[in-house]
Structure 1
Amino acid sequence: MFRPLELYVGLKYTRAKRRNHFISFISSISMGGIALAVMLLITVLSVMNGFEAELRDRILGMASHVEISSGRGSLEDWQGLKKEVDTRVSDVNGAAPYISGEGMLRSGRSLSGTLIRGVLPNEEKDVSDVSSHMVAGSFDSLKDGKYRIVIGAELAALLGVDVGDKVDLMIPTANITPAGIVPRFRRFTVGGIFKVGMYEYDRGMVMIHMGDAATLYHMGQGVTGLRLHLKDMFDAPNVSRQLEVMLPPGKRVSDWTRQHANFFHAIATEKTVMFIILSLIIAVAAFNIVSMLVMVVTDKQGDIAILRTLGLTPRSVMAIFMVQGSLIGVIGTGIGVALGVLLSVNIEHIVPFLEKVLNTDLLSADVYYISQLKAELHEVDVVRIMGLSLVLSFLSTLYPAWRAARVQPAEALRYE
């Protein structure tokens, strides 16, 4: 069976027991360092991918893919606009009007600021996921003139209210009375409690019927805007440009890639920085291969001289030590990829276990946007990391192998 001499000798040197145990130790450290760096890089990027996907899904579960509003004041003819969009834009999966504002909720002595969104329950289900995240009550309890309110779970806990309790909603619009100027408020009944898993919304948003919101804000038949849900969320910029051309002047079009651009740019930047930092760990582990091979070359000078005397070319000597160093990189990379994939796939179970063992909350909901750690493994990331690790391992063998090729047989055998 054909087997290249360089490969055979290189593998033999790798399997042979070292006379110098320190070289074996450095070899093991190099292999372990590469495996650890590859594992960490795969796991971190997978967690970042999962965080980005989870953040995007939760934000877009409450926010709109595309939003149409009036440049000035309220959007009056929203019914006609909705019909036109449904007819002329094929990518739209649903559309719903809304009225937005700010207010203050009070229950007893508890008080909290909040964002208010007036919606039509049946149409809101086409553009958001709130109705599917109800933990108490019903989203359909919102009815025009009934003055019911749906609030987030964190806000309900802060105010100490449950379904059926009364809360006072105050808005920053004043009423002039004989007693002076007082803020406008209305008593609402809690009709439902939702929990979307994102603290920003669970703590700071309430929903009421659009008719009740129009009464509070004196909007008449107008609305703040029209929210669109697309079949493909990543097509939002194209749909926005299409709507800007189609709609008459005075209408403003925005999409989620503009509204939440800072979030996703920050995540992309952080992923890039983490990739560079952890890649440096692989580079450091590769430097250990350099140190190990230099010591091996020094230890094997007699063997090199004999092989050269028997006719082995400098290029073949160089190939022998490149095989030996590259094999350490291949084994370390393989172990790291296996551990990284295994850790990424099971990260959702590992974190709760650690929280239970340490008796602490690693991702507090009032601090982090996402309180549950999830990972999303991408094949392209694994391939890219494998390629980087193997290339660095290969490059680290070049200098020691070149040193081995320059060994002079006569000089090496002089004291043998």
Structure 2
Amino acid sequence: MFKPLELFIGQRYTHSQRRNRFISFISFASMLGIILGVMVLITIMSVMNGLEKELRARILGVVAHVTVSGTDGKLEGWSEIYESLAQANHVIGVAPYIEKQVMLTNDSKLRGVQVQGIDPAYQEQVTDPVLELLEGQYSDLTPRGYGIILGVGLAQSLQVYPGDKVTLVVPQVQVTPAGILPRVRRFTVLGLYTSGVPEFDNMSAFVHIDDAARLFKLGEAVSGIRLRLDDLFAARLLAQQLQQALGDAYSVKDWSHEHAGFFRAVRMEKLAMSIILFMVITVALFNLWASLAMGVNEKEADIAILRTLGMEPKKITRVFMVQGLIIGTVGTVLGVVFGVLLSLNIEVIIVFLENTFGFKVFPADLFYISEVPSELHWKDVCLVAIAAFIAAIIATRSPARRAAAIQPAESLRYE
């Protein structure tokens, strides 16, 4: 089978490196570095993708996809727009809510809490299965019943259980015969919930919306209306449409706006880790450059003879480009294969290592998740492979051009 002369000589030079153990070792080290760099980079990017997806699912399980509120912090006449919101595209649940910052105490411990007034009749429409009631039901919350459902972390910090009493302190004063005092109300713990998001479990509680309105003196007003969608990625467009339809008297925000900083930080971490890990590939490519540079010195007489026989400088360049690209291509392909396999099986591998050595990668008490998630994006795989291949071309280019610049007369003078 016919082969271009440059390809034939380049392959021969690649195999002949085995005679020079030092150059062969550097070439092997550069290929191994490319394999490891590509493999680890694909795996880390997949883990970061899985982490972002898992965090998004957990956080959006306890917050609204879209919220509609008044520009002054409260929404009057919410029932007038309820039907129009319920009929909007992608909306599968609508519920009014009241949300305020308060203090909660069991007489010996005091905690800052975000209390949410909910209507049990609507709450199921906007609640994700990720928010699990461990004890009690939303229907246990009744008007003037002054019951409260606590996050499991909050209940543990206050050392209270269902049936116990807690005191809710509103940071608003009221004038009484005894003087100016904060507004307080005793509540009975009716249930516990967990969302898998420690910050939410440790700082939030639910009460009936009528009790919240009475406590905060809101009358018929609420803080806003929560919307749950069948497609959370439609939230931004829907929020824009609702804002335009409702006018400036209302404030419409979607989850990507309210939690933009958090998800931006996750993406920045992914980018930073990708850049750091790409340095591993860069070091491997430096080894590739060094092995080719030494190979050019070793083959200087051969290059001079080829030039004397009439081979053009650009073909000499291609000979060493072939040699470098063989190493770069093999390293990239093997790195992609191992990286994809590792990404698809990382959860099983981590569980095996945790059981074998008795440690946890993500302790449940410190992180939102307790398992290592992974989601392979083929665009990430292609991006890493293309970047590694282009970097290999760049690393190969300099020694190859140097080989083409060798003068035959100077090189053969002492041969």
Fold conserved (TM > 0.5)? yes
Residues 62 and 130 of structure 1 are in contact (CA less than 8 Å); yes or no, is this contact kept in structure 2?
no
1:86-235 map, 5 Å: 86-87=86-87, 89-107=88-106, 109-129=108-128, 132-235=131-234
Distance 2:23 2:414 in 1: 22
1:60-71 map, 5 Å: 60-71=60-71
* Structure 1 counterpart of 2:54: 54
| Structure 2 residue matching 1:16: 3-state secondary structure | helix
Query: What's the offset of the Cα at 1:243?
Result: 1.8
Q: Is it true that 1:313 corresponds to 2:312 in the alignment?
A: yes
Give the count of matched residue pairs. Answer: 415
1:35-54 map, 5 Å: 35-54=35-54
Distance 2:356 2:134 in 1: 28
Distance 1:330 1:139 in 2: 59
Residues 17 and 23 of structure 2 are in contact (CA less than 8 Å); yes or no, is this contact kept in structure 1?
no
Query: What's the offset of the Cα at 1:402?
Result: 1.8
Residues 242 and 252 of structure 2 are in contact (CA less than 8 Å); yes or no, is this contact kept in structure 1?
yes
Distance 1:392 1:252 in 2: 49
Give CA deviations for 1:283-334 in whole Å, capped at 9, x if unaligned.
2321211110011111122333444444443333222211111111112112
1:247-286 map, 5 Å: 247-286=246-285
* Structure 2 counterpart of 1:83: 83
* Residue identity in the other structure for 1:237: R
Distance 2:78 2:321 in 1: 70
Give CA deviations for 1:190-246 in whole Å, capped at 9, x if unaligned.
333222111110111111121222222222222111111223322223222222222
Give CA deviations for 1:16-50 in whole Å, capped at 9, x if unaligned.
35332110111111112212221232222222222
* Residue identity in the other structure for 2:317: M
Q: Is it true that 1:398 corresponds to 2:397 in the alignment?
A: yes
Query: What's the offset of the Cα at 1:78?
Result: 1.3
Relative to 1, partners in 2 of residues 1:185 and 1:269: Cα closer, same or farther, differing over 3 Å? Answer: same
* Structure 1 counterpart of 2:25: 25
Query: What's the offset of the Cα at 1:178?
Result: 4.2
Distance 2:358 2:182 in 1: 45
1:253-402 map, 5 Å: 253-354=252-353, 361-364=360-363, 368-370=367-369, 372-402=371-401
Residues 66 and 256 of structure 1 are in contact (CA less than 8 Å); yes or no, is this contact kept in structure 2?
yes
Distance 1:286 1:131 in 2: 46
| Structure 2 residue matching 1:201: 3-state secondary structure | helix
| Structure 2 residue matching 1:163: 3-state secondary structure | coil
| Structure 2 residue matching 1:124: 3-state secondary structure | helix
Residues 148 and 190 of structure 1 are in contact (CA less than 8 Å); yes or no, is this contact kept in structure 2?
yes
Relative to 1, partners in 2 of residues 1:168 and 1:372: Cα closer, same or farther, differing over 3 Å? Answer: farther
Query: What's the offset of the Cα at 1:55?
Result: 2.3
Relative to 1, partners in 2 of residues 1:150 and 1:201: Cα closer, same or farther, differing over 3 Å? Answer: same
| Structure 1 residue matching 2:293: 3-state secondary structure | helix
Distance 2:138 2:372 in 1: 28
Residues 147 and 208 of structure 2 are in contact (CA less than 8 Å); yes or no, is this contact kept in structure 1?
yes
What TM-score comes out, normalization by structure 2 length? 0.90
| Structure 2 residue matching 1:346: 3-state secondary structure | helix
Q: Which moved more, 1:130-139 or 1:311-320?
A: 130-139
Residues 131 and 139 of structure 1 are in contact (CA less than 8 Å); yes or no, is this contact kept in structure 2?
no
Distance 2:47 2:313 in 1: 47
Q: Which runs of 5+ in 1 are unaligned?
A: none
Query: What's the offset of the Cα at 1:396?
Result: 1.3
Distance 1:361 1:268 in 2: 24
Relative to 1, partners in 2 of residues 1:73 and 1:274: Cα closer, same or farther, differing over 3 Å? Answer: closer
Query: What's the offset of the Cα at 1:269?
Result: 3.0
Distance 2:175 2:398 in 1: 85
| Structure 2 residue matching 1:62: 3-state secondary structure | coil
Relative to 1, partners in 2 of residues 1:224 and 1:273: Cα closer, same or farther, differing over 3 Å? Answer: same
Relative to 1, partners in 2 of residues 1:386 and 1:166: Cα closer, same or farther, differing over 3 Å? Answer: same
Query: What's the offset of the Cα at 1:387?
Result: 0.2
Query: What's the offset of the Cα at 1:185?
Result: 3.0
Distance 1:389 1:5 in 2: 26
Relative to 1, partners in 2 of residues 1:133 and 1:70: Cα closer, same or farther, differing over 3 Å? Answer: same
Distance 2:5 2:46 in 1: 41
Query: What's the offset of the Cα at 1:51?
Result: 2.4
Residues 98 and 120 of structure 1 are in contact (CA less than 8 Å); yes or no, is this contact kept in structure 2?
yes
Distance 1:347 1:148 in 2: 44
Distance 1:219 1:80 in 2: 17
Relative to 1, partners in 2 of residues 1:227 and 1:386: Cα closer, same or farther, differing over 3 Å? Answer: same
Relative to 1, partners in 2 of residues 1:249 and 1:298: Cα closer, same or farther, differing over 3 Å? Answer: closer
Supply the RMSD in Å over aligned alpha carbons: 2.6
Distance 2:45 2:229 in 1: 28
Q: Percent identity of the aligned residues?
A: 46
Q: Which runs of 5+ in 2 are unaligned?
A: none
Give CA deviations for 1:105-128 in whole Å, capped at 9, x if unaligned.
223523221100011223222223
* Residue identity in the other structure for 2:66: V
* Structure 2 counterpart of 1:16: 16
